[in-house]
Structure 1
């Protein structure tokens, strides 16, 4: 009797072509082609059987060279070597040796596809002005929301009277009030539900350069999602993996595996009650050295780092000045603190200075007493906008008005600056001039949790008064090891002159090409070998920091290339050229779902994140691309081609300025990246 295929077996690779017809960038899409593409994309998204282009999954192969291929898990041996996801379209030459799996971290040996993320000294920082769409785009967007809201209320009115059984959870029943009223759940039921297939898509495997989608379909218009039992490999432009450290193989994964053998998987308590391991102390010392501060503390959750530390910094009688687009964790922490809060327009330095003059001259409400302290909180990189804090001007205002400065570098640490030290590194500002630096290990380091860094006096106080250290479970050993290994890959290691602390160091010291530096002559910014776990395996690329430098420069190229390429195509985008987060404006709520489905159902599937109200203003729905060092130049080419086709169909190219055809952008990518400013 023949065996049945596994319910989690991958779909065989399909030779299906793109659902779009090739056309010139200047040709306007007709209503018929638009409706046809929308209908076909929607049908494919809902079809029982998954998306059409599936590719095989890769095992945790430790290395890929010209003489060894990725180990592939596949039942019938059907492999697709042409899609560029599992295998590079151009095989590596005999001189190229790659120590990564292509599906996790793309193979790219071309040094032309590198860039250094850094603001030019002596040039005033200018934010790229945001362009407004034509009035008909705004008008139709408002009308779309109005139409959906009116239809939703009409359906609720009729349904409660003629199909009350379907609304039982929203009506009083047996003396109980409903836990969730129809008004509170209206947005979820009547708006979000229509495009729910674009959110919370389950995945499996390593969220690296590519990702495996668990295919699903809905027989009842997204009320329930049923898995098909198949998987689809897609290009991943949605995950926070800026430096590509989210890998299932490689030096960091090897270190984590060794850690689990020694420590297990849990810390077993809070930091104050038996949960502090030697790894916690080593990680905190390493973070402080990485940032150039006196001390640092780490927390097991990034959101909790802000929400529990801010109340320990300010209280009643203090004033917090906050950018209007600061993250929810900052807002939550300020509310818990009891301090007064004033907000200023996003990145508007004139508005900030006017506000500073007002609050300093007026003092506290009613009493007009001076504030106990004034704390300015900004983000280094705003994840929904892609904009950078205007740190040079903020530092000038800090010297003038004497306030404390708190920078949230959740998205900028590791992703900006020639050495990956964040927004201060990007602008060339001494980090010691910033009172408190906050960041997370989620985005750039492939781990979890967050940190607070500053003077030892402040950090010692926060260890006791910050709730994250007193009440929350301490960061687990595998996560700590991932933080240490990835951070060391960026910093490099100063080898001791004598008595190497690990077999890896002993092997490297014996190499003629490895410089040995006395412990007393520590290279600024590098990690002393004595500060690392003696059992941690270290590769040569981690020792000299070449792995981290390569990742930083690849990310900088990819981010700048996609940012500028989209603007040259005519899209309205937000943010700085060097931001790894690239928001592309969609405006219309219906276009979010269509854009996501069209990207996911291409011949080379692409996974993106679409964002709408309440995470953004009502009329600025957007798709948010998250670039990674793991992506290759060919991956960004594929994204640009997809956006070009879909942008024509959905009428998304509303920006002014000079436009280039997509093939010219791809051909002149290096020139485009190195242009001082886009003409």
Structure 2
């Protein structure tokens, strides 16, 4: 089977121009893009609206090549045909059934899953299930230890061999600033607080669970964000899903990005508001919905909406893209809407001092009505927060289900947040926090640049520490994850239904704790695995054509990628 090269040709052009100071004429550029079309490659570039941005803003999303898309659909089709054929053979006992089955007395029960979900789980997910839910037995830092598992029933159940896989490079955890550690000031402070307060509070904040450390943490969060007040919650997911219903209801309109996290989607659905979805990071789509909402009002009655709330994220964890916040704020002001910004992945990871996407663009925090974030990523803790005006936070304290009914955050978790946040702000008397923020930015730029130079198709913004590498084919998901782990590299692989059916991917999360040697090891290993998975099946032929046709020497490519060509 022939696969089109999954290689970012445009990146090769850019690097060649940069290294050789090549000036391209209009005819040459048109000729190059004709070549891209011949290879089946299309690229969507996102440039900035110069009047609103104080810094360059560049994102790249290379469309799935047509041939790759066709072959991917064919792969799913073949798997589906064989799946139904095997189901038929199992039903008539032609083939021995190795999968989980209902007992005879349960045959007339209402099925728990729809037919397709059940079929997909049995015939595809189970084949690659060993790539998820892997147990670890160490701190999820730059390296971690994994408990080895084995399955004797086709991944339906797992057993432990007793062996521990040591020193696996962790490219899957959201440990952006490296605070997931069991040594250092944060761990020591958490241990001291545990001795004084214990592990649990056993009550809600409104009853006997409001500690002095909780109030200190919330004041610190408000100061860190640059807002009037803030409130913390014990669970990041519930921070969205339980607070959005407190902010909107019937007669309100929610405009949600199509790639928003499940917690935002659930919160919007629970609110009872009307929900309309705009294309990812597409300001024309958002403005059209805003304009239509104001012109037409509510369905049937055409009364004005009580409230219009825009839901967006700072960094999108599956795409690696950054919200076009200056334009969103401009639209929000123009049409008198409210803005809910989820900074789960961007707080601590963006901005010169780690204050998130608002600082990254040099904007005023007061322009964002509801600032939400989590402590689970950059701070190495748990829970989430909401920041904004004092009136908003006071309202949520008495109306949010997550605030009224949830048990208070654990004291050692609170102390981890306080200590790590003070470290980032420099209030601990050191520069460790700022150095980590800078190191994360350097690691991100280096890792993304090197991956492009090697020839991977990667999604997202150049400054995003979430780096999706496209795999496309369903069979490559399991193969890539397993082969990387064999070489002591832990990486997350993602496929349908978490992504579109033709956009399966591996997701790398860069951390400040990663050394250059670790990143180099990952980048040296990944191309070998990709070749093993036949993802670069025609890369040599395609790149040879490309370099010859653009007056570049094939020798340049072979010198740069000799290790790939030898495989």
TM-score of Structure 1 vs Structure 2, range by shorter chain: 0.7 to 0.9
Stretches of structure 1 that go unaligned for 5 or more consecutive residues are 1-24, 27-118, 494-541, 666-679
Question: What's the offset of the Cα at 1:615?
Answer: 0.7
Partner of 2:491: 608
Structure 1 position 550 matched with structure 2 position 481: no
2:506 is matched with 623
| CA displacement at 1:214 relative to structure 2 | 0.6
Query: Secondary structure of the equivalent of 2:220?
Result: helix
Residue equivalent to 1:201: 134
Residue in structure 1 matched with residue 461 of structure 2 by the alignment: 576
Whether 1:152 aligns to 2:83 is yes
Confirm or deny that 1:189 pairs with 2:122. yes
Of 367, 374, 387, 1:433 maps to 367
**Residues in 2 aligned to 1:485 and 1:474: alpha-carbon distance in whole angstroms:** 19
Separation in 1, partners of 2:104, 2:301: 48
After superposition, where does 1:37-76 map in structure 2 within 5 Å?
Answer: none
| Conserved? CA contact 2:186–2:416, under 8 Å | yes
Q: Distance in 2 between matches of 1:360 and 1:386?
A: 32
| Aligned counterpart in structure 1 of residue 530 of structure 2, from 647, 655, 665 | 647
3-state secondary structure, aligned to 2:60: coil
How far is the alpha carbon of 1:631 from its aligned partner? Answer: 0.3
Q: Does 1:588 align with 2:473?
A: yes
- Which residue of 2 is the match for residue 43 of structure 1? none
Matched, 1:633 2:516: yes
Residues 150 and 424 of structure 1, relative CA distance in 2, 3 Å threshold = same
Equivalent of 1:283 in 198, 214, 217? 217
Q: 1:200 to 1:629 in 2, by over 3 A?
A: same
The one-character-per-residue Cα deviations of 1:54-87 (angstroms, maximum 9, x if unpaired) are xxxxxxxxxxxxxxxxxxxxxxxxxxxxxxxxxx
**d(CA) in 2 for partners of 1:434 and 1:488?**
23
Report the Cα offset of residue 207 of structure 1: 0.5
User: Is 1:139 aligned to residue 70 of structure 2?
Assistant: yes
Change beyond 3 A, Cα 1:275–1:172 = same
Partner in structure 2 of residue 359 of structure 1: 293
Answer yes or no: is the 8 Å Cα contact 1:569–1:662 preserved in 2: no
2:447 is equivalent to residue 562 of structure 1: yes
Quote the residue 1:338 is aligned against: 272
**Contact preservation (8 Å) 2:100, 2:156:** no
Distance (whole Å) between structure 2 residues aligned to residue 436 and residue 349 of structure 1: 20
Work out whether residues 440 and 465 of structure 2, in 8 Å CA contact, stay in contact via their aligned partners in 1: yes
C-alpha separation in 2, matches of 1:616 and 1:170: 34
SS at match of 1:203: coil
Partner of 1:370: 304
* Structure having the larger proportion of residues in helix: 2
Q: CA deviation at 1:426?
A: 0.4
- Per the TM alignment, residue 190 of structure 1 is displaced from its structure 2 partner at its CA by 1.1
Change (3 A) 1:180 1:130: closer
Q: Classify 1:197/1:140 alpha carbon distance in 2 versus 1 (closer, same or farther; 3 Å).
A: same
399 and 178 in structure 1: CA distance in 2 versus 1, 3 angstrom threshold: closer
Deviation track 1:349-407 (CA, whole Å, cap 9, x = no partner) reads 11111121111111000111100011111000000000000011112212211111110
Measure how far apart 1:186 and its partner are. 1.8
Q: By how many angstroms is 1:543 displaced?
A: 1.7
Alpha-carbon distance, 1:275 to partner: 1.1
Whole-angstrom CA distance in 1 between matches of 2:257 and 2:66: 28
Secondary structure of 2:404's partner? helix
Residues 196 and 294 of structure 1, relative CA distance in 2, 3 Å threshold: same
SS at match of 1:407: strand
* Structure 2 gaps, min length 5: 1-6, 9-49, 562-567
- How far is the alpha carbon of 1:223 from its aligned partner? 2.1
CA shift, 1:129, in A, is 3.2
* Matched residue, 1:312: 246
Checking the alignment, whether the CA contact within 8 Å between 2:98 and 2:153 is kept in structure 1 is: no
How far apart are the structure 2 equivalents of 1:615 and 1:168?
A: 26
Matched, 1:229 2:170: no
Deviations 1:157-189 (CA, angstroms, capped at 9, x unpaired): 222332689664187637644445654422211
CA 1:488–1:123 in 2, change beyond 3 Å: closer, same or farther? Answer: closer
The TM-score with structure 2 as length reference comes to 0.84
Pair 174,633 (structure 1): closer, same or farther in 2 beyond 3 Å: closer
| Inter-partner Cα distance in structure 2 for 1:248 and 1:272 | 32
State the TM-score, normalized to the length of structure 1. 0.70
Report the CA distance shift for 1:166/1:646 in structure 2 as closer, same or farther (over 3 A): closer
**2-structure distance, mates of 1:170, 1:403:** 55
Pick closer, same or farther for the CA change 1:251–1:434 going to 2, 3 Å.
same
1:599 aligns with 2:484: yes
Cα separation, 1, equivalents of 2:559 and 2:445? 17
Instruction: State how far apart, in whole Å, the 2-side matches of 1:402 and 1:174 are.
Output: 56
For each residue in 1:230-284, what CA deviation from the matched residue of structure 2 results, as whole angstroms up to 9, or x when unmatched? 1112111111100000001000000001001100100111111211111111111
Deviates more, 1:137-146 or 1:574-583: 137-146
Q: Is the 8 A contact 1:294 1:454 kept in 2?
A: yes
| C-alpha separation in 2, matches of 1:458 and 1:396 | 22
Q: Is the 8 A contact 1:170 1:182 kept in 2?
A: no
Distance 1:568 1:293, change over 3 A: same
The answer as to whether partners of 1:169 and 1:178 remain within 8 angstroms in 2 is no
Correspondences of 1:50-449 after superposition (within 5 Å): 126-162=57-93, 168-169=101-102, 173=106, 176-180=109-113, 183-233=116-166, 234-449=168-383
Instruction: Give secondary structure in 1 for the equivalent of 2:310.
Output: strand
- DSSP-derived class of the 2:500 partner: coil
Cα deviations by residue, 1:403-433 (Å, 9 ceiling, x for unpaired):
1111000000000000100000100001111
Cα 1:324–1:178, aligned 2, differ >3 Å: closer, same or farther? closer
Change (3 A) 1:120 1:558: farther
Conserved? CA contact 2:55–2:361, under 8 Å: no
Give the number of aligned pairs: 498
Q: Closer, same or farther in 2 for the Cα pair 1:122/1:186, shift >3 Å?
A: closer
Distance 1:346 1:121, change over 3 A: closer
Report if the CA contact (8 A) 1:592-1:621 is conserved: yes
Q: Judging changes above 3 Å, is the alpha-carbon distance between structure 1 residues 274 and 615 closer, same or farther for their aligned structure 2 residues?
A: same
Residues 258, 188 of structure 1: CA spacing in aligned structure 2 closer, same or farther, 3 A cutoff?
Answer: same
